[in-house]
Amino acid sequence: MIHWSPFVQAFKRKYPWVQLAGHQGNFKAGEAGTILKKYAPKEKEALSLLMRDILRPYVPEFQKEVIRSDERFIQMQDLLADFDTPSVMDLKMGVRTYLEEELQKARTKPKLRRDMYQKMIEVDPNEPTPEENKLKAITKPRYMQWRENASSTASLGFRIEGIKIGEGAPDKDFKTTRYKPQVGVAFDKFVNSNKIVVGKYIRRLKAIRATLEMSPFFKCHELIGSSLLFVHDKNDSASVWMIDFGKTTRLSDGKYLDHRIPWIEGNQEDGYLWGLDNLIDIWSDIYNGQIEPVLEESNNENGIDSKDSTETQVNAKEVPNGKPELSDDPTQKDINLSTPDER
């Protein structure tokens, strides 16, 4: 998630901080080139391990733990520091955003949430059951599972949490952006059809994927609620980082994840690589001018009429080796895994 607060820091910056997702107040200004994120044990553990893993070039640098006003924070690299008026997109990765233990806890100690019921009906007033309407409340797992099926989390293995283009206002209206054509249009708008930036994003994503497939850390961790942060600016500088490890959980000894096979409760699969495969596929279609049009006449905000959804839905491609090919695509070539970014 992008949690940066919407203000300009006292020291010189070429951008205002923005918050596209998550809880307000999780971040504070650090020293120049750093930010402070509210302390979370799992996040600190994950970042500490990642500093010794081959994924290090693709995550923010973890520096130290600090105390501010009696609160604990993690000091880390500010990923926007070197960009000039950056455009930013947060994609939440994986096929689910909740831990299995959260489901188990909800079953044994269900807690009804009025705030989540309200969020649900704001998007889809017809979604709650008669019982939920009577109570005007739902459980957190019920809300999260609905969010995942309403968005592209379940259908593509990732979803758009928010987009901010340059100095424009943040856009978080992607709760029902579910199908591949919708996502492609949103991505193309984000980069303003700039093939230079698209090519850099594709190379970076492929480098991340190749490194993930070799990473000892990734093999033995379940990544839930983690995001990919896309950043580019008016100078065509562009890069992608893995962020948000507050729910990242180490597996029991001797257990490893595939990160592509379907999740069945108990197997802890997160679908991260499956989502990344689909993500690269969509960016590749944009690069090759193959994004599919979204129906203009629609009964909903995202351009997909429910009665036509069977015609417009594009299923995520089955990619056995997770590496779809691009014919005559220069972005396929010369991936340097040691390069920290694609600027």
The string of pLDDT tens digits covering residues 223-243 is 999 999 999 999 999 999 999
Residue 25 binned pLDDT confidence (cut-offs 50, 70, 90): low
Label residue 13 by pLDDT band (50, 70, 90).
very low
Task: Classify the C-alpha dihedral 272-277-282-286 as positive or negative.
Answer: positive
> What is the distance between the alpha carbons of residues 150 and 142, in angstroms, rounded to a whole number?
12
**Percent share of the chain, pLDDT over 70:** 78
Six-digit token pair at 217? 């850390």
- The one-letter amino acid at 18: V
Q: What is the largest CA-CA distance in the chain?
A: 59
Q: Residue 264 pLDDT > 50, yes or no?
A: yes
Q: Mean pLDDT, to the nearest integer, of 65-72?
A: 90
What is the band of 328 on the pLDDT scale with cuts at 50, 70, 90? very low
**Comparing C-alpha atoms, which of 142, 156, 72 is closest to residue 112?**
142
Average pLDDT over residues 205-224: 98
pLDDT at residue 28, rounded to an integer: 84
Using an 8 Å Cβ cutoff, are 212 and 337 in contact? Answer: no
Phi/psi at 165 (5° precision): -100, 115
DSSP state of 291: P
Distances (CA, A) of 218 to 60, 102, 247, 256, 278: 16, 22, 14, 9, 19
CA–CA dist 258, 255 (Å, integer): 10
Give 41's strand partners. Answer: none
What's the whole-number average pLDDT of the chain? 83
What pLDDT is attached to residue 61? 96
Residue 283 predicted with pLDDT over 60: yes
Predicted pLDDT of residue 11: 34
pLDDT of the residue at 319: 34
Residue 295 has what pLDDT? 61
Which uninterrupted H or E stretch holds 75? strand 71-77
Predicted structure pTM score: 0.81
Give me the mean pLDDT over the 47-63 stretch.
97
Confidence (pLDDT) at 86: 96
Whether pLDDT at 127 is above 80: yes
Backbone angles phi, psi at 73, to 5 degrees: -135, 155
pLDDT tens-digit readout, 174-212: 999 999 999 999 999 999 999 999 999 999 999 999 999
Residue spans of alpha helices (H) in 6-127: 41-50, 100-108, 114-123
Q: What is the DSSP letter of 262?
A: P
Question: What residue has token string 């750093």?
Answer: 34
- What pLDDT band is residue 154 in, cutting at 50, 70 and 90? very high
pLDDT tier, 7 (very low <50, low <70, confident <90, very high otherwise): very low
Cβ(184)–Cβ(292) under 8 Å?
yes
Round to whole Å and give the CA distance between 123 and 136: 15
